[in-house]
Amino acid sequence: MDRYPPVADHGLVGDLQTAALVSSQGVVDWFAAPRFDSPSIFAALLDHDRGGYFLLGPENDEATCRQLYYPDSAVLVTRFMSPDGVGEVIDCMPPDRKQTPTDRHTLIRIVRAVRGAVRFNLECRPRFDYGRARHELHLHQHQPQHPRLQGATFTGPGITAHLQSTFPLERDDQDVRGTVTLNAGEQAAAVFTVCEPDGPMPEPLTADGITLQLWDIVEYWQRWVRTSNYRGRWPGMVHRSAITLKLLTYAPTGAPIAAATMGLPEQVGGERNWDYRYTWVRDGSLSVRALLDLGFIEEATRFTRWLGERLRDRMGMDGERLQIMYRVDGDPLLTEEILDHFEGYRGSSPVRAGNAAADQLQLDIYGEVMYALAEGHEVGVQTGYHGWKGLARTLDWLADSWDRPDEGIWETRGGRNDFTYSRVMCWVAFDRGLRLAAEFSRPADTVRWTAARDAILEQVMDKAWSQKEQALVQHYGGDVLDASLLLLPRLRFLAPKSPGWLSTLDAIDRKLVSDSLVYRYDPEASPDGLRGSEGTFSLCTFLYVDALAKAGRLPQARYTFEKMHTYANHVGLFAEEIGPSGEQLGNFPQAFTHLSLIMAAGSLDNALDAALARGRD
């Protein structure tokens, strides 16, 4: 077993309230429960020795490992091929269908021999509370009514985990291990259930019960994918991205998290190691468009309602009307702490839990909220009267508050500045607010909003333009390019083929693009208060494809999009960044990357279809 497998060497399984990573060696090395943002139970990715893991794989270390998803599902299959035989481990979690928070979560692991005879090893070593809490083991063996069933209970502070297995289990201090040899056609199972300390024991395992549950999970996901209306050129990548977005969404509230993990570095050995298991207003708002493009209206609707609740939380209060991120239940408290007992992924420290950036000022979020609501209105997602009043009051407040330096979209920790993207998104807030007010005849201070919108446009075009670069730049008075501005044509701030925009696109191509991959910005030219460098941002590469497609540069757009697929991992997942050697870096998988893939695929499909239609004419 690798101490620290590559970030991309994992598949994701989940139940819509939490999720687990499974390496291609059959190791669950990340799992937090009962929610995405709960303390970890398995965190070997952050510290192999202290984090805990759940291994289920062949005894033969020379086996060749392969992973795939069962088609159009979140059921992960890990295959092991060796001279002795071929074996499989199937991992899945029963999805939440009630949309009610629960402390009980189940990871199902099925092993089977496909050819020959395969000897499988099991090691279950939970480490509660980020490896800080001790636990006690109680082993259950030789149950007369279920003679083949073995069991173990791990009891930690405020949480209990049950392991049921058809493996013969033995104690290894406070952990368990086991071994079983399977011949072709035989299977075994291990089910790990997390629950509250006094919760009932899981139902006894049966072969028929496990099989029925597996196919029920497959059917759930395939039925959901069938509701997609995507008919474009890349259905495999698009639907895998859609499934990933859903896996990263907390079903009880409809709030998506940014990524399943925390602490995975943007540079191995560096300090850019953040906790992404929270809901960013920005990411979630942009996901609305991606979900709507695929026909997933219910998911988009639930998040817009969540946004409305966050606005209502601040009604009548002083200060900012929104925070940039929240916990999945809307809790604004995300206190950041350093887990100094963890060495970090391949020595990348500090490992942070929580996120202090929640207190940053990022004015772009108001534009993203209005963008999401306006996009939702296009398909009938409407805000009620009281919800509209809250939005209108927010825009009234923003009319007096938009012209301020902030920390910007990339959450830099080097001080506030007049970031261009933040001002553009404030323009979007007023622009979409005015459109909604007119379309639905809602009460609004349209004179004030119009004045603010127009003032922002004039200010940006006057102060954000660099004569040196012949482009709009990251912040006023500078010459640093910023890939966030690739969203401007989609936002309709500039026409996608206007001279000013095409000149900006050319400048971004010169300064931020490396073999089709796109950097956010140059941290050496624009210090962000952090040591070290970073890779190219996969989000930005897909935004680049989107902008190229809208600009009519179709050969370049399609080639860039196709090349980007070669950086996906073996099951179609993307982390946050791509490193110098093509490795994936940062938290994994990242929702922002997958939603931008969906957006780029849609824009490119539409542009290619339009070009074909013109050719036929």
- pLDDT, tens digit, for every residue of 71-93? 999 999 999 999 889 999 999 99
State the pLDDT confidence band at 151, using cuts at 50, 70 and 90.
very high
- Distance, CA of 500 to CA of 184 (rounded, Å): 65
In this predicted structure, what is the pLDDT of residue 243? 98
Residue 116's nearest CA partner among 166, 167, 63, 69 is: 63
pLDDT over threshold 60, residue 614: yes
Q: What is the DSSP letter of 472?
A: E
Count how many Cα atoms sit within 13 Å of the Cα of residue 18 in the half-sphere of its side chain: 24
In this predicted structure, what is the pLDDT of residue 413? 67
Structure-block tokens of residue 357: 């950036």
Residue 407's nearest CA partner among 416, 395, 394 is: 416
- Distance, CA of 492 to CA of 69 (rounded, Å): 38
pLDDT over threshold 90, residue 183: yes
In this predicted structure, what is the pLDDT of residue 241? 98
- Distance, CA of 585 to CA of 272 (rounded, Å): 11
Mean pLDDT across 247-271:
96
In this predicted structure, what is the pLDDT of residue 389? 86
Mean pLDDT of the chain: 93
Residue 493's nearest CA partner among 547, 427, 545 is: 427
User: 208-217, 246-255, 309-318, 376-385 — which is least confidently predicted?
Assistant: 376-385
State the pLDDT confidence band at 199, using cuts at 50, 70 and 90.
confident
Mean pLDDT across 244-270:
96
- Distance, CA of 90 to CA of 67 (rounded, Å): 10
In this predicted structure, what is the pLDDT of residue 204? 86
β-strands 150-156, 159-165 pairing: antiparallel
In this predicted structure, what is the pLDDT of residue 95? 97
- Distance, CA of 215 to CA of 92 (rounded, Å): 10
Q: What is the DSSP letter of 166?
A: S
- Distance, CA of 418 to CA of 415 (rounded, Å): 10
- Distance, CA of 600 to CA of 290 (rounded, Å): 9
In this predicted structure, what is the pLDDT of residue 319? 83
pLDDT over threshold 90, residue 233: yes
State the pLDDT confidence band at 534, using cuts at 50, 70 and 90.
confident
Rounded to 5 degrees, what are φ and ψ at 123? -135, 120
Question: Exposed, middle or buried: residue 318 (CB in 10 Å: 0-12, 13-18, 19+)?
Answer: exposed
Mean pLDDT across 553-577:
97
In this predicted structure, what is the pLDDT of residue 527? 59
In this predicted structure, what is the pLDDT of residue 179? 95
- Distance, CA of 566 to CA of 8 (rounded, Å): 12
Determine what percent of the chain is predicted with pLDDT higher than 90. Answer: 83
What's the Rg (C-alpha) of the chain? Answer: 25
**Which of residues 159 and 316 earns the better pLDDT score?**
159
In this predicted structure, what is the pLDDT of residue 231? 96
Cβ–Cβ under 8 Å, residues 597 and 612: no
State the pLDDT confidence band at 318, using cuts at 50, 70 and 90.
confident
In this predicted structure, what is the pLDDT of residue 150? 87
State the pLDDT confidence band at 193, using cuts at 50, 70 and 90.
very high
- Distance, CA of 391 to CA of 442 (rounded, Å): 11
Largest interatomic CA distance in the chain: 82
In this predicted structure, what is the pLDDT of residue 386? 79
**Mapped to the 3 state alphabet, what secondary structure does 37-73 carry?**
CCCEEECCCCCCCCCCEEEEEECCCCCEEEEEECCCC
In this predicted structure, what is the pLDDT of residue 264? 97
In this predicted structure, what is the pLDDT of residue 146? 56
Query: Terminus-to-terminus CA distance in the chain, angstroms?
Result: 59
Structure-block tokens of residue 525: 């030219």
State the pLDDT confidence band at 137, using cuts at 50, 70 and 90.
very high
pLDDT over threshold 80, residue 556: yes
